[in-house]
Structures are given as C-alpha cells and as structure tokens.
Amino acid sequence: MKDLIFVITAILYVLPINAQKNNLAPSKPVTEDYFGNKILDEYRNLEDLQNPATLQWMQSQTNYTNSILNLIPKRNYYLEKRLEFDKRQGYSISDLKVTNNDKYFYVKKNGDEKIAKLYYREGFLGKEVLLYDPIQYKNNGNHSFVINYISPSWDGSKVAVSMSEKGKELAEVIIMDVKTKYIHPEVITDAAPATFDGIKWTNDNNGFLYVAFSTIDPTSQDFYKNTKTVLYKIGTDSTKVIDVFSAKNNPDLNISDDQFPIILDSGIDDQYYIGMLVDFQSYRKTFIISKNDLLSGKKNWRSFSNSDDKAKNLDFQKDKVIFVSGYNATFNRLSRTNIANPDFKNAETLVPEKKDEILKSYRITKDGIYYTTTKNGVEAKLYLYKDGQDRSIKLPYPSGNIDLKCKGENYSDIWITCSGWANDEQRFKYDLKTNTFKPENLAPIADYPEFKDVVVNEIVVKSRDGEEIPVSLIYNKNLRKEGNNMVLIDSYGSYGISNNPYFSKAYLLWVLQGGMVAVAHVRGGGEKGESWRLGGYKETKPNTWKDLIDCTEYLINEKYTSKDKIAIWGASAGGITVGRAMTERPDLFKVVIAEVGVMNPLRDEVTPNGQPKEFGTVKDPKEFKNLLEMDSYHHIKKRVNYPSTFITGGVNDQRVIVWEPVKFAAKLIADNTSSNPVLLKIDFEGGHGGNVSVDQRYANIGDMFAFAFWQLGHPDYQPKEHTKK
C-alpha cells in the first residue's frame, strides 16, 4: 500500500510539472547592444502589460500555483493563526499621533476586522471616539480603501486622512473637522504616500504641505518624476494647490526630475522650513526658508547643507540646528551648528562617536536631547545628552529597537517604544526626575505562551573577505544542531536600510512549527553604518548575495541545517540578494522565495520607480556592468538544476513593476532542468505588499510559508494523496 501511495504521489507531482512545461510563456526575443556587449532578452514582450497574451500567461500561472497550493493540507495555517492572534489581542493600534494639547489620534483594528479605522481621544485616559471608517469612502462595492496615514492639525481641530486601495501607492486625502465629524467636500487625489514624509500643517491650522505626483497614471514611467511639495488651503479647490518647492517653481535650485523635493517636519515654534532633495542616498542636499516667506509666496530658498557635508536628521533648537554627522567619522556623531551661518563640516560635537554603536535617532526636549544607538543594527541603547553631559538610561528590558516620540523642545514629555524579535512592542512614558518608565500602551499586550521557549542569539559570521556579518538566530531553546533543522534565511541589503528587530509573528510562527529563522544583515544595509551600505552598493553589490551565501554555509558547517533544509527569502530589493545567490549557487538552497522582487535591474530604469542612483544606469559603461552582474534574470542558465522557487508580484506594484518577477519566472521555468517546482503567483488585487486588508496580506505570506515547508519536507505540509478505496 505504501508503494502504491508513493507512485500515485509521484504522478501527482510529475503531471503538474509537465503541464507547466507545456505552457511556457510566449517569447519574442530582443537583442540590445550595451557598449559592445550584445544582451539577449528572451522575454522582453512580457513587459507589455496591455498584451492579452501576457495577462493570460500571468493568470494561467497563478491558477496553476493555486491548484498546487490547494493540495497542501496546512496551506491556510498561517492565515488562521494570524487571525486567531488578532482576536486574542483584542485590537491593535498604529500611526499614533499626539498633539501638544494631548489629543490622541490613531488607527485601530479590532481583532475580527479586516481593515483599521480612525479613532480619537482627549488625553491618554480619555474616552475613545470613532472618527472615520474607510469603508465609507467611495462605498459602491468596487473599492476597498485602507487608511495608510493620518495627520492631525496642531490644535487637533482637524485631521487629514490618507487612503489607498489594492496596493497602490497613489493616496487620496480627505479632511475632517474633529468636533463635528464634518468631512470637507474637497478631496486631494494626487498625494504621495507617507513614505514621502507625510503631511505638515501650517501654524494657523488652515492648510498643509504635502508631496504631489505630477501624474496620477500609476503605469507611467514618469510617475515618480517631477514630484513637488505643494500648499493646500482648507476650503479651496484641491486641484489648484500652490507649488512651493519643485523644479518648476524653483529653477535656480537645480532640482533634477528624479529627485523628490520634500519639506521636513518642523515644530510649531520653529521659524524655518527645511527642504530636502530625496534621491535614496544617505546624505542629501537641503535648503532653508522662512516659514512666513514660503507661506506668503516668496521663493527665496537658500542653500543649507550639501551632500558632501554628510549631515542628516536635521532638527532645530532655537537658533541652532542639531544633526547627525558622518563627516570624517567611521560611525557618526551628534553635532550642532548655527542656522544663520551653518558650518556642517566644522560643527560643534555634542556626542562623539561611540565604539561599535551607530547613532540611530534623537529627540529634542526641554530636559535635553534623548538619543538611541544600535550595535550591528540589533542591540539598542538609550541615552540623554544634557548640559554637556552624556548619560546612559537603562531600558525597561533589553531591546533590539527603540522608537522615540516627544512634543518638542518646550516640553519634557518623552515616550519610548521598545521591541525585539521575541518581545512584543511596548510603549512607555519616561520620567526623568524619578528615572522611571510608566507603561502607556494604547493596545493590550497579548500573552503568547506558544512562544515561551523561543530564544534569540545574535552572532557574527566571518565572510570570505574577513568582514563580520551580523546574523540574528531565532529558534526554540530545545533545538539540536544535528544538521536537519528547517531554516528560513531572510535578507535584504539595499538603500542602507537596517533590518531592526521587531516582534515578528511571521518568524515566530515558523519557529513554532519546528523551524529556525536566520536574519542575515548583509552588506548594502545600514546595520554597521555608511561603510556597510557602501559595501553592497553598485560595483560592490556582489557582497550582498555573497554574504548570504557565506551565512548559509556557516549554518551548514555548524550543523544547524543542511542544503536540503534551507529556504531563503528576499522581498523587493531583496530579490537581487536571493536571486543572485540562487543563480550563483543553485546547489546551496532547497527553496528560494522572491517576494515582489527586483529580478531584472538591467531594465529597471524604464520602470516607474527606476533607481539609477541606487543600482546604476545602463547609460554608463561601468554601471552597466554592475547592473548586469546583479541581474538575476540574465544569470539564469539553460540545463541547470535550480532550487524550488516561489515568485510573487503585484499588478498594482509601482515600486517593483510586476513584469520583473514575471520575466524571471518565465525564463526559470523554461531553462530549469530540475524537477523542483517553480511557482509564480500574481496578486491581481495588490501591489508591493501594503495598502491591502490584513487577511490578504496574511494569506500571501501563508502561501510562501506553505510552499517552503512542503519543499523542506515538513510532514504536515505534504500534498494529499488522492487514492481510491
């Protein structure tokens, strides 16, 4: 009987694979010449998302993937557990904003709800009031908006509510009067998401500044180009905003079309606005202007800091500007200079460099400057700089990440939110006089006895070139190093972004089912400062995926796992990391998960969110070679046995256009000679992962995990045998 079941199961595997091989993507090759290098692009035709043949193939592959996933008994385990956890907690709160007059605004999702609503209360202990349910917005059955950002006015009399749907970046903003719940008829439809520094209210509470797109066509290659910061005045025509900071409005500032001119947050008592040109570099050019001048229509911005000043995180303190300086620094330091005559390179040092600690964030209060540091991006500390003295503050519990909130330099109020891989996020108000932390959690702290045996071990792995790569290991305390643990390795490594510890139920649920999670903090991220970012940038980008390879081999050599028990997971720019690790060492991994990944960076520049300043440009011969080297699509070779691969994309993804993962999947399916499955799953109602309901997000992660557990041999995830009695 066992032999019969084995044969039937084998047939079930072979038939779908053969069916997939008989449904290869249509191919219309294009050959291009780059500086004498002829590059064949076999699936250039799949970039045409209006072509019915392309859409049909994407849909057929998604249907095929779902048919395979439906055979896995515990496909919905992750979704069901996350929804169960939501109900257990009762409700969750995000995007908390507290005005200086103690009005609390926040987004809250009850445990049995799919989307969050806007709430408000007077003071921490005030009565909670429901202000807005996004289901009311365009409620005609064809829309599914979620709130992605809120911004109350200074006095809390009004609140701007930003909403998006189906994973789209483009936000629509409504304005509500808090006391009456009156919603103004004017709707802003061209707003950038909160990642572009959100909405800043004017001091009179009658208008605000925001970043506007130049086009609302999300498929346009110019979608992220020629953005502008505009002023909207409440009650006026929302299509007639006032341009205050842009290439068109300020031609003398030499703003390029791919830079994002934004205005930074400022206190209500500050006299100036700081404008910054965001271009995904660590240090950006800034300008300064009097608030009164800008609001009265003047254009007299003046240069403030240059990128070579290596100044970031600028904030005002009376007639001074405080900033984090990386100038002539291995790590960084907290510095101060005059607003009127700034000298960022020769500024006064308040807090000098600390050995092995990166100054992460700071907040200016009446009592001094609170600041945080991290070691290797995973060990956080809290300090207070006051009257020329620097002191350490012991946290309520060891934390991997700290978030600071305050009211401003005229108030003593400071809130600290701590979190870690195995510690749920908790918010405290700190009392300097008594040196105590008082819990001020707006959401309940749920108990998770399932995770009581989870331990975290922060290690470093020596790479092939001697660099020490930080790796976070999350596992059950009873784990044995016998070489057979199912290991999920998560890595990113771009834009100087650190993968800081947070209470990841995704990781913990993997561990709960007998696996181990390793977070590889590879070069290209910001865990060890600017040098770590530049160690995985353009011509040094290979370090990013080679670090992942080195970390994987370490885990094998230390008997944590073996080749047949390893899954690697990379999202967005992490697609470069896992894609190139897979194509360089297809023998090293059993499973590869590329989630909305950058898989074809050689073509990235023609997408709405092309990143030539981060990855390189094909217009430069040296950078072309860098791009080709990091291009996973072009490194797929015929007659190679590749690992089991799960590839996702979102139709409404404006950060990584969906045809990048689609092309990668098409070539891999055609060229792969192993019997390992290659699955492509397109979310036709989603984008880059955000701005969707929680059940949709949970289900997407659950499918990735179910696939990985199936391929790693987890007994609970093996497809059902369809046998006749």
Residue 273 identity (one-letter amino acid): Y
Q: pLDDT tens digit string along 271-321?
A: 999 999 998 888 999 999 999 999 999 999 999 999 999 999 999 999 999
At residue 22, the pLDDT reads 75
Only one residue has tokens 């865990």, namely 527
Higher pLDDT, 336 or 169: 336
Helix (H, G, I), strand (E, B) or coil at 158: strand
Q: Where are the alpha helices (DSSP H) in 223-322?
A: 291-295
pLDDT at position 252 over 60: yes
Per-residue three-class SS string for 611-665 = CCCCCCCCCCHHHHHHHHHCCCHHHCCCCECCCEEEEEEECCCCCCCCHHHHHHH
Q: What pLDDT is recorded for position 510?
A: 98
The DSSP call for residue 357 is B
Q: How far is CA 81 from CA 61, 75, 448, 508, 696, in A?
A: 27, 12, 12, 11, 14
Find the range with the poorest average confidence among 46-55, 151-160, 164-173, 336-345.
164-173
- Dihedral of alpha carbons 359, 364, 365, 369, sign: positive
Residue type, 124: F
- CATH number, domain 92-263: 2.130.10.120
pLDDT the model gives residue 6: 37
pLDDT tens digits, 604-634: 999 988 888 899 999 999 999 999 999 999 9
Per-residue pLDDT tens for 432-477?
A: 999 999 999 999 999 999 999 999 999 999 999 999 999 999 999 9
What pLDDT sits at residue 616?
Answer: 94
Q: Where are the alpha helices (DSSP H) in 22-125?
A: 52-69, 77-89
Decide whether 2-82+448-717 matches 92-263 in CATH topology: no
Report residue 17's pLDDT band, with 50, 70 and 90 as the boundaries. Answer: low
What's the average model confidence in pLDDT over 144-173?
94
Q: Write the CA distances from 15 to 11, 73, 710, integer angstroms.
A: 6, 19, 17
5 confidence band (pLDDT: 50, 70, 90): very low
Distance CA 179, CA 422 (A): 40
pLDDT of 9 > 70? The answer is no
- Is 379 in a helix, a strand, or coil? strand
Question: What secondary structure, in 3-state letters, does 599-618 show?
Answer: CCHHHHHHCCCCCCCCCCCC
Q: Residues 568-593: what's their mean pLDDT?
A: 98
What pLDDT, on a 0 to 100 scale, did the predictor assign at position 547?
Answer: 98
Angle, helices 574-584/659-671, rounded to nearest 10 degrees: 10
C-alpha 6: how far from its chain's center? 43
pLDDT above 50 (res 724): no
Question: What was the pLDDT predicted at 18?
Answer: 59
DSSP state string for 387-402: TTEEEEE--SS--SEE
Give the domain 354-443 fold: Lipocalin (2.40.128)
DSSP, collapsed to helix, strand or coil, labels residue 240 as: coil
From residue 532, how far is each of 134, 304, 525, 621 by CA, in Å?
A: 41, 27, 6, 25
Tokens read off for 189: 């439809």
What was the pLDDT predicted at 4?
Answer: 36
Angle between helices 505-512 and 694-712 (to 10 degrees): 30
Angle at 319 (CA atoms; ends 313, 324), nearest 5 degrees = 20
Q: What is the mean pLDDT of residues 79-94?
A: 96
The kind and range of the H/E element at 701 are helix 694-712
Residues 107-126, mean pLDDT to the nearest whole number: 96
Which of 339-364 are b and which e, b meaning 16 or more Cβ less than 10 Å from the residue's Cβ?
Answer: beebebbebeebbebbeebbbbebbb
The reply to whether the predicted model has a pTM over 0.85 is yes
Q: Could you state, in order of their start, the residue ranges of all structural domains in the chain?
A: 2-82+448-717, 92-263, 354-443
Query: What type of residue sits at position 164?
Result: S
The two three-digit tokens of residue 437, written as one number: 């932390």
- In CATH, the architecture of 2-82+448-717 is 3-Layer(aba) Sandwich (3.40)
pLDDT value of residue 12: 44
Contact 537, 460 (CB under 8 A): no
pLDDT at 102: 95
Confidence label for 126 from pLDDT (cuts 50, 70 and 90): very high
Residue 691: per-residue pLDDT: 85
CB-CB contact of 337 with 319 (8 Å)? no
| Residue recorded with tokens 């390879």 | 549
* Rg of the chain on CA atoms, in Å: 26
How far is 357 from 376, CA to CA, in rounded Å? 8
**What percent of the chain is predicted at pLDDT more than 90?**
88
- Are 175 and 165 contacting, i.e. CB atoms less than 8 angstroms apart? no
CB 139 within 8 A of CB 163: no
Strands 188-191 and 200-201, sheet pairing: unpaired
Coil/strand/helix, residue 51:
coil
User: Can you give the pLDDT at residue 522?
Assistant: 98
Provide the pLDDT for residue 192: 83
* Residues 19-44, mean pLDDT to the nearest whole number: 93
